[in-house]
Structure 1
Amino acid sequence: MSDTPVAEMTFEQAMAELEQVVGRLERGDVALDESITLYERGAALKKRCESKLKEAEEKVAAITLDAEGEPAGLKPVDGL
């Protein structure tokens, strides 16, 4: 696990660590207390990834507006 605060991570950093956390939890070879800590870290990492994806979606939406401020033919991404 990284010592980097989740709030300071890029999407890529958070996703990579989330994959590591999930892998460790799936193996089931960690003590209960560590599992809880990993789960909490994983939840924070998931939230960070979702937040960064939402920011990216909003930036893309802002870029794709026409001169009247209307969407220029692009639709929002499903599931975000």
Structure 2
Amino acid sequence: MTSVTDVSELSYEEARDQLITVVNQLEQGTATLEESLSLWERGEALAARCEEWLIGAKERLEAARTVPTNAPSGDE
């Protein structure tokens, strides 16, 4: 498993895929308590990274849909 410190470098898709893997491992119930805690912490970090990407995407979409009222029309 990769370290928690590299989560900030992941794309949305990478973080999502790793989160799915972490959830699957936790659902299997075969990990020790220490491993489970580590997986949980990793999952929390991955979920936060996904949320960062989604918030950023939402902001970009809102900015793209918002047309400033004082924008030049291009006729000038």
- Is TM-score (shorter-chain normalized) higher than 0.5? yes
Structure 2: runs of 5+ lacking an equivalent: 71-76
Structure 1: runs of 5+ lacking an equivalent: 70-80
TM-score (norm 2): 0.84
Instruction: Quote the sequence identity (%).
Output: 41
Give the number of the structure whose residues are more often helix, by fraction. 2
Shift of 1:14: 0.2
Q: Which amino acid aligns with 1:9?
A: L
| Secondary structure in structure 2 of the residue aligned to 1:5 | helix
Over alpha carbons, which structure has the higher Rg? 2
CA–CA separation in structure 2 for the residues paired with 1:59 and 1:67 = 15
Q: Tell me the alpha carbon deviations over residues 20-68 of structure 1, each in whole angstroms, 9 at most, x when there is no partner.
A: 0000000000111000000000000000000100000000100001231
Shift of 1:2: 3.0
Are residue 2 (structure 1) and residue 39 (structure 2) matched?
Answer: no
TM-score (norm 1): 0.80
CA–CA separation in structure 2 for the residues paired with 1:67 and 1:55 = 20
Q: How does 1:12-27 map to 2 (within 5 A)?
A: 12-27=13-28
Q: Which has the higher contact order (CA 8 A, sep 6+)?
A: 2
Q: How many residues align?
A: 69
Moved over 2 A (4+): 1-4
CA–CA separation in structure 1 for the residues paired with 2:35 and 2:57 = 33
Q: Which amino acid aligns with 2:40?
A: Y
